[in-house]
Chain A
């Protein structure tokens, strides 16, 4: 073997070694994704497209469906300073609670932050730090069965009273016709964050405020709130199955999508699933804004939505931030809107022809999404979870008939005032 051959071999070996170093530099980013409906699938395809583009790898961590349980899991991971998950999908009400554990994304975002709805960016900014990039927004909407409403000559309801009457009429008619599993209206009634969202919509639609006002004053004890809770309690066991007191989003969708309910309150994600190829109600579904509370009420939809944040315990913060920017970009949000009806957080996409063709109600309900009612997570800060828990428990007690609405809001008001130390929080 002559010297040249040796040199060539060594050079070959060296370049091979260099290549492996290059590959080792590519990071594996773990991202936590929700698994409600098509969420996990969409997250996977999006994250994998980024991985392919940048030469990194992604690992998906699926989390519990209930947002209450998801927060509990995150808190345990983050309080322990675990680096297992780099990118967290966080709820719109969490930036205040979890801000400590996330890095500032404003540099990575640059001008991209200006494209998004500004109220959400403001919501995600804690102490000058942009802790999460908006991924998709959410607002409660009313799903209805077009075919059934037509059959009974009814119009989509504009007030809760109309909804009650229409639901009752169709439920009675369909049951007489032989479908004894038919119900009028399903929603989220389990004692968890989802009930807070639903109940806030009822209360706000009767001009009953948002539990705690932006200045921190407890406002729940008012006639509007009492009427709202009374109305909702009247549905249970008449147009709504009693089991709704243990339903989350997916349980409600289970009943509606099997064709056993006239109306459903849910988030926009259910649109795509209700119209999927294997859905028994494909093409028979309409979406309108949630009804007003009486003639003088207003349309109210609770603001939901999810953000992407990067853990400060992550070992690959730069790549993780890059993944966040990719997933929250206009192109990816457009894909998610078309394929799975997730609401973009970028205003211009609501005028996009392809998006509107896939999800027509994004156009007609634009105002609902932009003017959605925020939960009082800003004024109550880290106490928000306790406020929400007290609220859903009080509501749950009214719905199950254990207390009447007036007594429930009075004792809730006292509890929250004590908790807030007179509105100071």
Chain B
């Protein structure tokens, strides 16, 4: 990378000497750049582009999993259709909207909690204390465990009859009767969010910690000389400076949270109380064999995630410009 960039500046300098030289050099550079990029682009098109286009296309057909080669084009029928005086399709399916609401609610709450806890942990880990290296590694463990494993582990721990969570809470007297964490409709979403926060807070902490360690020390020295109290230092110095790092971390997490599948599916299966957009799409695609309808749902999921990220980035940029 470094060699490449010095090379570019060198080329730019020499290119400014004569015009013809510049265009020839640029042309050959652009050519070789494409050549080097080609394998990557082809790979991306194959593993990301083709499935995406295919899914969007299937969304306009009545394809069925039993026989994928036999389908016909149905236009927007999977999204909305008027049949015998009744509207049908995804856009009028209350279950789809419930899944959208579940997903957005899950993403907002879990990412907010993870950001707060991640910030606290990052601040602690940023201070120097004996055994810091060990603690930094230990904190990462929940994130390193594969989701499917940790979800199954939690589903046993949260079991109402022989789960350790109920046992512990009852022993210290916080609850009188065992709670059905994953079965009770009022508790199941809370359980899902709790496990997700447990699992991904370390990831947030790590990203924010990386941001914290890049902060210049002179601001802090100036603050110390002026005798500003630590709380004010955090809000006036640390937070504004670390904001770009937090923004990136939040985008990563939000992207991830909006397409949540594994955790919810393992903990609560196809229950409507916690069904996310991905769980909904999978149920249509696989359980009901409705590849067309399920692909339409996947397409909407893709659009929703895209919209959320665009909104977030626009909001972030507007605020940055104001400052």
Contacts and interface: CB of A to CB of B under 8 A. Distances in A.
A251 B289 CA distance: 28
B125 interface: no
B289 A75 contact: yes
Contacts of A402: 185
A76 B286 contact: yes
A391 interface: no
A244 B184 CA distance: 9
Interface string A241-256: 1111111000100110
Contacts of B286: 72, 75-76
B86 interface: yes
Contacts of B66: 79, 97-98, 100, 382
Interface string B145-184: 0000000000000011110000000000000001010111
Nearest to A183: B161
A191 B269 contact: yes
A260 interface: yes
A214 B300 CA distance: 37
B288 A245 contact: no
A315 to B, nearest CB: 22
Contact of A246 (B64, B178, B268): B268
Contact of B288 (A192, A386, A393, A400): A386
A347 to B, nearest CB: 33
A241 B178 contact: yes
Contacts of A191: 269-272
B68 interface: yes
A254 B68 CA distance: 41
B160 A243 contact: yes
Dominant SS among interface residues on chain B = loop
B283 interface: yes
Interface string A61-80: 00000101001100110010
Contacts of A246: 160, 180, 182-183, 268-269, 271
A418 interface: yes
A393 B268 CA distance: 13
Interface string B118-157: 0000000000000000000000000000000000000000
Find the residue from A190, A241, A246, A389 having the highest chain B CB count within 10 A: A246
A291 interface: no
Chain B interface residue bracket vs A:
20 to 34
Contacts of A255: 161
B159 A251 contact: yes
Given A79-B65, A181-B161, A72 B287 contact: yes
Contacts of A245: 180, 183-184
A396 interface: yes
Contact of A242 (B64, B86, B180, B283): B180
Contact of B287 (A71, A79, A190, A396): A71
Given A241-B160, A241-B161, A245-B183, A75 B65 contact: yes
Contacts of B287: 68, 71-72, 385, 389
Nearest to A81: B68
Contacts of B289: 75, 97, 382, 385
Find the residue from B160, B161, B268 having the highest chain A CB count within 10 A: B161
Interface in A235-290: 241-247, 251, 254-255, 258, 260
B178 A385 contact: no
Interface string A387-399: 0010001001100
B323 interface: no
A82 to B, nearest CB: 14
B270 A68 contact: yes
A66 B86 CA distance: 35
B221 interface: no
B226 interface: no
Interface string A174-209: 000000010000000111100000000000000000
B67 interface: yes
A254 B65 CA distance: 36
Contact of A189 (B86, B183, B288): B183
A191 B286 CA distance: 16
Contacts of B182: 243, 246
A255 B160 CA distance: 10
Contacts of A72: 282, 286-287
B65 A244 contact: no
A75 B66 CA distance: 8
Contacts of B162: 254, 258
A389 B160 contact: no
B269 A389 contact: no
Nearest to A69: B269
Contacts of A76: 286
Nearest to A192: B269
A100 B67 contact: yes
Contacts of A181: 161
A76 B88 CA distance: 27
Given A68-B287, A72-B287, A389 B161 contact: no
A221 B180 CA distance: 30
Contact of A389 (B67, B270, B282): B270
B147 to A, nearest CB: 16
A260 B161 contact: yes
B184 A254 contact: no
17 contacts: A68-B269, A100-B67, A190-B269, A190-B271, A191-B270, A191-B271, A192-B269, A241-B160, A241-B180, A243-B159, A243-B180, A245-B184, A385-B288, A393-B272, A396-B272, A400-B183, A418-B88
Given A68-B270, A396-B271, 10 more contacts: A79-B68, A241-B178, A242-B183, A243-B161, A243-B182, A246-B183, A254-B161, A258-B162, A396-B272, A402-B185
Interface of A: 66, 68, 71-72, 75-76, 79, 97-98, 100, 181, 189-192, 241-247, 251, 254-255, 258, 260, 382, 385-386, 389, 393, 396-397, 400, 402, 418
Closest 10 CB pairs of A and B: A243-B160, A245-B183, A246-B183, A243-B180, A242-B180, A72-B286, A191-B271, A246-B182, A243-B183, A400-B185
